[in-house]
Chains A and B, each alone.
Chain A
């Protein structure tokens, strides 16, 4: 828990992270004091012209190969630095699943060659700073956030942490024991069970995205493994920074260069991550969990990678189907009309490194899950066979077009976006043409891509909950809708929480 936020006294804020302040023009036109119109359609709004500044305006490359996206933001005396590092858990050695994530955590928790873990914690908290490090499957991250009066000390701590991690044995032992204890708790919550099972169903056991740490792999990880992992990937040439705050741009670049000075660029890190080889097997999969009165259901199949000519039509099609909240069809059908779920929707993830998933999801009382699944099928069929009405299409597109300026609500959010594009190798001008590309999507496009990319015969259905009630169905609206209607029902036992085998 972030200690600082506690003083805000305000829980909701935790969900609202930072946003604000972006270079943009806004002219609040004076509304005339006219009487109130009888419908909001009759309101007339002044135009708003927003242009996202291009990436080149912020990008710098330091002599040590480090790429820096930088912008001054003088509103408050604060400093914000985020970093992406080319690495990932995808490169855990065989038998050592979890090495990267543990190393990412211990780079921060394990202290530095100059500071014991306790000294580092003490310094960071005395500065009221936040200093973080982590490694996910496909990237490493580090960040520091503090008052601008402490920038020099902050940069020193950051570099000390990244360049000279101590990997303290005692902290490592505790981290491993914590992990061993938490590994046993993987079957506690149906949402974790669902997410893990869905990953296996979509990408297969062999894919790196499904390599979870076990107690055996965790026990086998040594300090030496972490040192070797760190040495291989943590170099300036593998680092992409986003920096904003109360500073002078030129001066700050010089300070960053100095702080990372004498650290060679190093070997280039990974740019690609392997795709799964396995193909999902369509059918209905039911995982039993005791003591819950709500089932969690996912329905979908493999999708595509981003960057295809159909990227924007696919995006709009999914928004219409279930990807734009209350405006979308699945939400309207399952939640608004039938009162069957609080949380419901769909996503069509266009993968960055390998094909993403098409996935519809909801949670409903056990006996209604099959019926609600039928409603989702109906909407998938409708978007594949009926041309979307122009008004619905226009409204969906305008949702994203009108929202566009708010997506970049702070300078830091612009910098982070561009740093991520640099990391994943997408042309950052994607965002300069984004609005126009959305506006080009037609009702014919939506129908065409729905037909081409949604495959009702290939759907995988996963239901987690009280298996008997789930399978029996029997919702009073239509008791005849049961899961068997959607394919052969296969009951899957819970996986062993440690090895995730059955």
Chain B
């Protein structure tokens, strides 16, 4: 891996001109963990800090959704869930008996899968329309499902629910959780410092002896997670479809949660095969930040983790590359959300020498004093909220995105056009020293702020190490501080070519709610329900009326009534609204008359 440590001298020179020495000291010091590699290849990154009696600890595996084999999307994430189900010791009352039941379950499940295949064929032929609807199952499948439910009950009787979680919790373990991304899977917890050995016991145990118990129940929970995060949110489904369109060949286009039909088909065997390849010490890093003694931790790591042997095969590389985009791609969605524009370009992977320039470019565009806000919100009044740009560099590839929420009365395409104009200005116009310095001040401040939290630092070390190299945590701000205006212009020229952009446009699809004019809603809200209904009906009639003369008469009498002024306020505003509606309709009809003349 490339390392760029030589640049440190330059950093001091750059910031030396701007800030006092205490700040330089904190930055210059950077993050310097102790590195240690166990005999089996497990890497340790250790940072001692003794201000508080806790330790943030994690194990991170170099495997994520982009390693999901074809047809089993979601398996890396599914496996993450299974790592909480215990081992041969944790989570069971009688492991031997439990194993026998689990084998029986798997045999039956294999037969059920075969029958499910048959039902899928029936679905393709149109004989049934949902393989997951129990009412449409074949009698054989229904029968097997009953037996299966009984076996699950047997298995349950032999289990101890959530024992891993319970043990950690009882010892003050907090934030116990895990996360799967496109590139990696991380398991973490924060413990009182006197309980650190518990981490080594439990983590080495589940690493070596994880048992995929309750597999199919957990698979259902993962389906619920998908419903919760993707399928039943206003934009989840569309965002997922947009990703799939943006990545033509790279597995980054496959959702971390997996495609629904594939998640529902993952088997315990699939997961066990997956584990053998990727859950090996040579594919993992342990990071600890907090109140411990490094020598003691290394001793414990050896004692607990060197019991696990190196993987038999090295995990296969991700060979699929995203082809160079050759055309503009556009995505139009109608969703229950504010109208929105997203413009995206393919860029570079993390650690690439252009990454710093792209980061600084995003900084120039973002924020309340950034170029997008100034133009789209302050000058044009065409966007609401804070439009933003960001660069996301992942392990294998990256992208640059600009996004804005469109203000009512403006078209998303208009906002898109303004965004592209701003890109052109960066390509050709001036970039001031002041705005460049502002971005660099933020780079510097954030490189200090991120040292505040132990668990935050633990995450960053783990993620950087898995993406690229932990040293990049110190190096990336240094690189950004060196970026010049010319570098930024070069990034725009190199990457933000409008001809190969990918655009998502979200328009508002109205839900079941009324599309009543807000002013009218306010008036109706002040009336008793019966009266509100009558008023609403009258307004509807006015809007559809064709008789100009009759409308003019109505208008006159209503105006008179209003002018007499002898009525409560809510009636006045109702009357005023009706007059306004009639006037509008009269004007429409008059205009139509003129046209026909």
Question: Contact residues of A with B, CB < 8 Å?
Answer: 1, 3-10, 12-13, 16-22, 24-26, 28-31, 33, 35-40, 43, 45-48, 50, 75-78, 118, 121-122, 124-129, 146-149, 174, 177-178, 180-185, 187-190, 214-216, 246, 288-294, 324-327, 331-332, 335-343, 363-365, 394-395, 398-399, 401-406, 409-410, 465, 476-477, 494, 496-499, 501
Contact = CB atoms under 8 A, between A and B. Distances in A.
A1 B389 CA distance: 10
B12 interface: no
Closest 6 CB pairs of A and B: A402-B172, A339-B220, A26-B53, A128-B445, A216-B522, A215-B518
Given A3-B367, A125-B438, A465-B232, 13 more contacts: A1-B366, A8-B446, A8-B450, A21-B52, A28-B193, A36-B201, A77-B448, A78-B449, A215-B521, A342-B228, A363-B227, A398-B171, A494-B511
A70 B336 CA distance: 46
Interface stretch (B2-10, B246-254, B452-460): B452-460
Given A216-B518, A340-B224, A498-B518, A26 B50 contact: yes
Interface string B474-486: 0011001000000
Contacts of B224: 294, 339-342, 363-365
Contacts of A76: 26, 448-449, 451-452
A311 to B, nearest CB: 21
Contact of B368 (A40, A125, A326): A125
A214 B374 CA distance: 28
Contact of B227 (A24, A365, A406): A365
A77 B219 CA distance: 47
B89 A38 contact: yes
B261 interface: no
A127 B52 contact: no
Given A12-B463, A26-B53, A216-B519, A399 B448 contact: no
A501 B514 CA distance: 11
A336 B162 contact: yes
A392 B569 CA distance: 62
A149 B22 contact: yes
Interface of B: 19-20, 22-23, 26, 49-54, 84, 89-90, 134, 145, 149, 156, 161-162, 165-167, 169-174, 179, 186, 190, 192-198, 201-202, 214, 216-225, 227-228, 231-234, 291-293, 296, 299-300, 303-304, 307, 336-338, 350, 359, 362-363, 366-370, 374, 377-378, 381, 384-386, 388, 390, 392-393, 407-408, 434, 437-438, 441-456, 459-460, 463, 476-477, 480, 511-514, 516, 518-519, 521-522, 524-525
A160 to B, nearest CB: 17
Contact of A336 (B196, B217, B463): B217
B198 to A, nearest CB: 6
Contacts of A181: 338, 384, 407-408
Contacts of A342: 221-222, 224-225, 228
Nearest to B385: A178
A402 B49 contact: no
Q: Which of A37, A181, A363 has the most CB of B within 10 A?
A: A181
A494 B513 contact: yes
Contact of A188 (B217, B221, B450, B511): B511
A294 B303 contact: no
A444 to B, nearest CB: 22
Given A24-B52, A187-B512, A17 B453 contact: yes
Contacts of B90: 40
A382 to B, nearest CB: 15
Contacts of B300: 31
Instruction: Please report whether the interface of chain A is mostly helix, strand, loop or mixed according to DSSP.
Output: loop
A80 to B, nearest CB: 9
A127 B441 contact: yes
B53 A30 contact: no
A48 B194 contact: yes
Contacts of B19: 147, 149
A21 B521 contact: no
A75 to B, nearest CB: 7
Contacts of B291: 26, 28
B338 A18 contact: no
B366 A6 contact: yes
B299 A33 contact: yes
Given A7-B442, A8-B460, A216-B519, A20 B453 contact: yes
A35 B201 CA distance: 11
17 contacts: A1-B366, A4-B442, A13-B459, A16-B453, A19-B452, A45-B171, A48-B194, A121-B367, A149-B20, A188-B336, A331-B162, A337-B156, A342-B225, A363-B224, A399-B172, A497-B513, A498-B516
A13 B456 contact: yes
Given A364-B224, A402-B192, A326 B201 contact: no
Given A3-B442, A180-B518, A501-B525, A20 B52 contact: yes
B367 A125 contact: yes
Given A26-B291, A294-B228, A476 B22 contact: no
Contacts of A216: 518-519, 522
Nearest to A186: B513
Given A12-B463, A149-B20, A185-B338, A1 B456 contact: no
Contact of A78 (B49, B53, B337, B448): B448
Contact of B337 (A39, A185, A401): A185
A17 B453 CA distance: 8
B201 A40 contact: yes
Nearest to A183: B518
Nearest to B434: A126
Nearest to B179: A12
A118 B54 CA distance: 43
Contact of B197 (A31, A124, A292): A31
Given A16-B455, A28-B194, A33 B221 contact: no
A183 B516 CA distance: 13
A7 B170 contact: no
B522 A338 contact: no
Contacts of A30: 293, 296
B460 A13 contact: yes
Nearest to B204: A36
Contacts of B369: 118, 121-122, 124-126
Contact of B170 (A124, A129, A402): A402
B447 to A, nearest CB: 8
Contacts of A22: 51-52
Q: Which of B174, B223, B445, B455 has the most CB of A within 10 A?
A: B445
Contacts of A7: 359, 363, 442-443, 446-447, 476-477, 480
Contacts of B446: 4-5, 7-8, 128
B201 A403 contact: no
Contacts of A409: 52, 54
Contacts of A48: 53, 192-194
A27 to B, nearest CB: 8
Contact of B53 (A35, A178, A405): A405
